[in-house]
């Protein structure tokens, strides 16, 4: 094992990057653009105010109560309510001019919603509930023997909080995903180029050992991956103002060990591809399962049982878990959960690196 040769390989990669400004731009700018977009989409706390048609012909309350309640609902800020009949309201739903129709039948409050978009539907129910609680209180109907209780539940959160936006919760997993995605792709394509351009064959006729080549690659790419990780983390924390509790250094360390695994996986995958197009086609195979199974979109604990084993072999699962623990819960590196995840990521990196060495098929004569 020669440090001089390893350093030569790492430096060669750095030199190539220096000349290939586009790849460097892709590595640094692309995640920031996407994160800004995500920040703009998910980072705001402004709730959409649903338009609700109150079917006054179906409010099964005595007229005085009914009128007070409807007035109070129309005054509510949580929803945009207007008087309507049931049939008219349903037609409005179909036309897309209203989001929900509200009526009361006995002691049951009914809300018919449009329902074609589950994300929007959830918000409507909540908004109407809030509006109703306020309206009942304001109209003095709460204790009127109406049978409509307006219990007030004050929710306190151990982690996160009311001022946390969706982006605050998603930032840890997004940071891990971007780092993994870009560096995996770049290292796979770069090593593939080494194979197809004949330089790999040329290198293997020098004293350079396969392990030295892989370590050199890991060093070269990890350097840029870590620069990327620093930029992404600083951007999310200081520009997107994502709230975090943990130590920035710990966040960075988790990223670092994950990135080594991503580079190794890239080298390994390049062995299975014959050209750059094929290498890019590996992105859905390698990355999409991690999007769905690593806890990025759906918590691992909510996955069907038969999918959990798959989730358990994906590196992003552990990176996500560790980063969430550090960024949202404020765990330190010494915490058993974080230590375990970092250990698994290190082991993943090692296994992939050994696989990458084996994939360089030099049959030693």
316 Cβ contact partners less than 8 Å away, ≥ 6 residues apart: 173, 176, 177, 180, 258, 290, 294, 295, 296
Q: Specify the residue, 154 or 206, whose C-beta has the smaller distance to other proteins.
A: 206
Q: Specify the residue, 197 or 275, whose C-beta has the smaller distance to other proteins.
A: 197
Q: Which residues bind other proteins (CB under 8 A)?
A: 2, 4-5, 7-8, 11-12, 15-16, 19-20, 197-199, 201-209, 362-365
CA distance 236 to 230: 10
Q: Specify the residue, 8 or 313, whose C-beta has the smaller distance to other proteins.
A: 8
Name beta bridge partners: 100.
Answer: 52, 113
What's the min distance (Å) between Cβ of 339 and other proteins? 38
What's the min distance (Å) between Cβ of 18 and other proteins? 9
Q: Specify the residue, 2 or 97, whose C-beta has the smaller distance to other proteins.
A: 2
For the chain, the distance separating the N- and C-terminal CA atoms, rounded to the nearest angstrom, is 20
What's the min distance (Å) between Cβ of 275 and other proteins? 16
What's the min distance (Å) between Cβ of 274 and other proteins? 16
Q: Specify the residue, 10 or 179, whose C-beta has the smaller distance to other proteins.
A: 10
What's the min distance (Å) between Cβ of 21 and other proteins? 11
CA distance 142 to 270: 67
CA distance 112 to 103: 9
Classified as helix, coil or strand, 59 is: strand
DSSP 8-state code for residue 77: S
Spell out the long-range contacts of 337-342 with Cβ–Cβ below 8 A and sequence spacing 24 or more.
338/250, 338/254, 341/254, 342/253, 342/254, 342/257, 342/318
Q: Is the CB of residue 323 less than 8 Å from the CB of residue 251?
A: yes
Q: Specify the residue, 53 or 218, whose C-beta has the smaller distance to other proteins.
A: 218
Cβ count near 30 (within 10 Å): 14
Q: Specify the residue, 175 or 188, whose C-beta has the smaller distance to other proteins.
A: 188
What's the min distance (Å) between Cβ of 207 and other proteins? 5
Q: Specify the residue, 100 or 360, whose C-beta has the smaller distance to other proteins.
A: 360
What's the min distance (Å) between Cβ of 313 and other proteins? 33
Q: What is the Cα gyration radius of the chain?
A: 28
Q: Which two tokens stand for residue 256?
A: 């670092």
276 Cβ contact partners less than 8 Å away, ≥ 6 residues apart: 189, 192, 193
What's the min distance (Å) between Cβ of 253 and other proteins? 31
Q: Is the CB of residue 72 less than 8 Å from the CB of residue 138?
A: yes
């Amino acid at each position: 094992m020669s440090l001089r040769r390893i350093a030569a390989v790492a430096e060669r990669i750095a030199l190539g990057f220096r000349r290939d400004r586009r790849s460097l731009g892709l590595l640094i700018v692309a995640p920031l653009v996407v994160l800004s977009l995500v920040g703009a989409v998910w980072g705001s706390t402004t709730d959409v105010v649903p338009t609700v048609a109150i079917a006054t012909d179906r409010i099964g309350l005595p007229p005085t109560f009914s009128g007070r309640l409807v007035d109070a609902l129309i005054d509510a800020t949580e929803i945009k309510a207007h008087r309507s009949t049931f049939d008219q309201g349903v037609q409005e739903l179909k036309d897309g001019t209203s989001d929900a129709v509200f009526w009361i039948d006995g002691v049951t409050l009914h809300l018919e919603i449009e329902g074609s978009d589950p994300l929007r539907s959830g918000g409507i129910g909540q908004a109407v509930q809030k509006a109703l609680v306020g309206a009942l209180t304001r109209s003095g109907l709460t204790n009127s023997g109406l049978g409509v209780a307006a219990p007030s539940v004050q929710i306190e959160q151990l982690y996160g909080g009311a001022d946390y936006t969706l982006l605050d919760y998603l930032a840890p997993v997004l940071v891990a995903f971007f780092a993994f995605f870009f560096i995996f792709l770049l290292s796979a394509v770069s090593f593939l180029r080494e194979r197809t351009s004949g330089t790999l064959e040329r290198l293997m006729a020098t004293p350079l050992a396969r392990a030295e080549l892989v370590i050199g690659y890991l060093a070269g790419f990890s350097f840029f991956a870590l620069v990327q990780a620093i930029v992404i983390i600083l951007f999310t924390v200081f520009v997107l103002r994502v709230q975090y509790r943990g130590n920035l250094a710990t966040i960075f360390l988790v990223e670092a060990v994950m990135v080594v695994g991503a580079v190794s996986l890239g080298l390994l995958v390049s062995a299975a591809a014959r050209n750059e197009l094929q290498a890019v086609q590996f992105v859905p195979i390698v990355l999409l399962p991690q999007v769905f199974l690593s806890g990025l979109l759906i918590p691992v604990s909510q996955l069907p049982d038969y999918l959990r084993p798959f989730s358990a072999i994906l590196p992003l699962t552990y990176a996500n878990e560790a980063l969430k623990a550090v960024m949202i819960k404020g765990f330190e590196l010494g915490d058993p959960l974080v230590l375990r995840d970092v250990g698994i990521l290190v082991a993943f990196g090692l296994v992939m690196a050994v696989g990458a060495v084996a994939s360089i098929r030099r049959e030693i004569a």
